[in-house]
């Protein structure tokens, strides 16, 4: 591609020579006017092949797309989702009215979405400005002046004018149209980035809210455990007073009670931080936002098997990268036509008179039409440098697109494999909770009957507490990973919702 750019000025030089030779031969044969037209026709024919067309991209530079994700098994039958498919309110799959309300508030008040919307408006404004270059430009003006001219030295003269002018650049080689198409692709990329920002806000609200509800459940577990430790402390103190156990047993339980109180306070701080993060996502001040503790009742959506890899075609950031790639191809093609001629048509008309009273009379009318053909000859290498720069921009965009697609595949595979392992971990954790609960019940009975030590009871209680807390954390990780998978897939796992 770069070699073609380097050969372009030489091709134009040869075309000029061909046109000149044909023109000279025609002059000798048939006169001056006909050869000039013939030369222009030959020059145009020689250059038509270099119109502003997108520069092709080597397929080897683009990432290979597998049929399906490794973690989901065989590909499902049916039509794969496309970028234009409706995503819907994917968060409603969690069946949590509070989450639905928070997402709606965030979409209305989030600052990042407002910034992305402003960027989209700017892209559309630039598209309008670029498209205007394809249309005729009309100006209306009026003027008045007074001064001394060389025609009448020493005598001041006045001049008044009123008129309109029209200019139009003929898009000989499609440069203006290609520039408009590139600007339209930029606007489409900005639209995709707005969707990506929206999806990011939705996902952040969901993950933050679900983390807060998991913290509510964990706080409840810690407080229930703390109440149990305090019951054990009171019972141990009574036995110490009766002389059944020593002071060491009391101190051990008091230590466990204090450590659990510290954990409860740490969870309070974490919940406050999550609540403040939600307020910021909603575009509200933390001081005016509160979300009361509640039971965690959100449903966990099931991920279907065989999610097709083509679902990534609708991922907004991948779509934006695709549009940017197409725009860069067009701009590289435009840069390769920098040595081609440009044709402009102009027309003007109006009134001009040395006397204001005669400005609108018939003799004061003026008009003119013209055409200008400009063919670059020497610019010190500026056009070649711009063409190389456009090609370098295209190469960079290709690399960015490849990286974006590979990162998207990695994100999805990461979340799918994590969900699979979390499912297995949840089953193992449930068995651990069941065993630890049984061990605690047996230890309490045996301790009250004096068959085991107080240390054995504390160990059993600590084991049950750790198992239940681990179970909550695995459940929270499943919800968080599900939201991240939705984000990685661009809003869901099928074309009907998400």
Q: Indicate the class that CATH gives domain 56-134+174-338+378-488.
A: mainly alpha
- Band (pLDDT 50/70/90 cuts) for residue 400 is very high
Q: Give residue limits of the domains in the chain.
A: 1-50, 56-134+174-338+378-488, 136-170+342-375
Q: Are 161 and 354 in contact (CB under 8 A)?
A: no
* Lowest-pLDDT range of 42-56, 101-115, 197-211: 42-56
Give the model's pLDDT for residue 493: 65
pLDDT in tens, 288-318: 999 999 989 999 988 776 667 777 777 899 9
- What are 152-185's pLDDT values in tens digits? 676 777 787 888 888 888 888 888 999 999 999 9
Nearest Cα neighbor of 314 from 199, 410, 206 is 199
User: Which of 331, 333, 309 has its CA nearest to residue 413?
Assistant: 309
- Give the Cα separation of 258 and 262 in Å (integer): 6
Split at pLDDT 50, 70, 90, the class of 149 is low
Instruction: Identify any residues that bridge with 367 across adjacent strands, giving them in sequence order.
Output: 349
Q: Give the pLDDT band (50/70/90) at residue 350.
A: confident
Class of domain 136-170+342-375: mainly beta
In contact, 54 and 391? CB cutoff 8 Å? no
The runs of H, that is alpha helices, within 32-96 are 33-47
Distance from C-alpha of 3 to C-alpha of 416, rounded to nearest angstrom: 46
Question: What was the pLDDT predicted at 471?
Answer: 94
The CA-based angle 469-255-214, given to 5 degrees, is 20
> Which among 274, 288, 295, 280 is positioned nearest to 212, based on CA atoms?
274
Burial class (CB in 10 A: 0-12, 13-18, 19+), 281: buried
Strand 365-374 vs strand 137-148: parallel, antiparallel, or unpaired?
unpaired
Contact residues for 463 (Cβ-Cβ < 8 A; gap 6+)? 436, 439, 440
- Radius of gyration of the chain from Cα atoms? 38
Nearest CA among 42, 305, 106, 83 for reference residue 189: 83
Mean pLDDT value across the chain: 81
Q: Cα separations (Å) of 93 from 17, 71, 78, 412, 486?
A: 71, 22, 22, 19, 11
Chain position carrying tokens 């020059």: 43
Partner residues linked to 347 by β-bridges: 166, 369
Name the band, by pLDDT with cuts 50, 70 and 90, for residue 13. Answer: very low
Q: What's the pTM? A: 0.78
Number of neighbouring beta carbons within 10 Å of residue 276: 15
Q: Residues 203-213: what's their mean pLDDT? A: 96
202 token code pair: 């939705």
Confidence tier at 89 by pLDDT (50, 70, 90): confident
């Amino acid at each position: 591609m770069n070699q073609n750019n380097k050969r372009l000025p030489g091709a134009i030089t040869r075309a000029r020579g061909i046109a000149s030779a044909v023109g000279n031969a025609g002059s000798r044969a048939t006169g001056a006017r006909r050869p000039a037209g013939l030369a222009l026709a030959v020059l145009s024919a020689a250059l038509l092949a270099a119109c502003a067309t997108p520069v092709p991209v080597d397929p080897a530079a683009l990432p290979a797309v597998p049929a399906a994700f490794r973690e989901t098994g065989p590909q499902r039958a049916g039509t794969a989702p496309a970028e234009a498919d409706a995503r819907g309110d994917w968060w409603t799959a969690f069946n949590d009215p509070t989450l639905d309300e928070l997402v709606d508030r965030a979409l209305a008040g989030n600052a990042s979405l407002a910034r992305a919307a402003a960027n989209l408006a700017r892209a559309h404004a630039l598209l309008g400005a670029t498209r205007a270059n394809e249309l005729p430009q009309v100006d209306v003006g009026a003027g008045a002046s007074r001064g001394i001219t060389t025609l009448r030295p020493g005598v001041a003269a006045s001049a008044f004018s009123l008129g309109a002018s029209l200019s139009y650049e003929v898009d000989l080689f499609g440069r203006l149209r290609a520039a408009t198409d590139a600007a339209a692709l930029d606007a489409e990329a900005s639209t995709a980035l707005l969707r990506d920002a929206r999806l990011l806000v939705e996902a952040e609200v969901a993950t933050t809210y679900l983390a807060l509800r998991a913290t509510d459940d964990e706080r409840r577990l810690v407080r229930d455990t703390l109440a149990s430790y305090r019951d054990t402390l009171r019972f141990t103190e009574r036995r110490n007073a009766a002389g059944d156990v020593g002071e060491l047993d009391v101190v051990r339980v008091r230590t466990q009670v204090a450590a659990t109180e510290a954990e409860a306070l740490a969870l309070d701080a974490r919940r406050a931080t999550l609540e403040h993060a939600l307020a910021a996502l909603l575009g509200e001040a933390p001081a005016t936002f509160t979300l009361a503790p509640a039971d965690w009742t959100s449903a966990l959506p099931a991920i279907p098997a065989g999610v097709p890899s083509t679902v990534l075609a609708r991922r907004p950031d991948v779509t934006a990268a695709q549009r940017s790639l197409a725009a860069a191809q067009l701009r590289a093609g435009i840069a390769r036509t920098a040595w081609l001629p440009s044709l402009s048509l102009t027309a003007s008309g109006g009134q001009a008179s040395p006397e204001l009273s005669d400005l609108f009379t018939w003799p004061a009318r003026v008009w003119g039409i013209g055409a200008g053909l400009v063919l670059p000859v020497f610019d010190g290498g500026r056009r070649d440098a711009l063409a190389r720069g456009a090609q370098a921009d295209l190469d960079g965009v290709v690399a960015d697109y490849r990286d974006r697609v590979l990162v998207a595949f990695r994100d999805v595979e990461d979340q799918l494999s994590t969900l699979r392992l979390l499912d297995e971990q949840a089953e193992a954790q449930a068995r651990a909770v069941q065993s630890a609960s049984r061990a605690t019940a047996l230890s309490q009975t045996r301790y009250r009957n004096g068959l085991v030590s107080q240390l054995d009871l504390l160990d059993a209680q600590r084991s049950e507490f750790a198992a239940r807390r681990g179970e909550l954390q695995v459940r929270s990780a499943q919800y968080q990973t599900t939201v991240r998978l939705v984000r990685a897939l661009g809003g869901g796992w099928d074309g009907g919702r998400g």
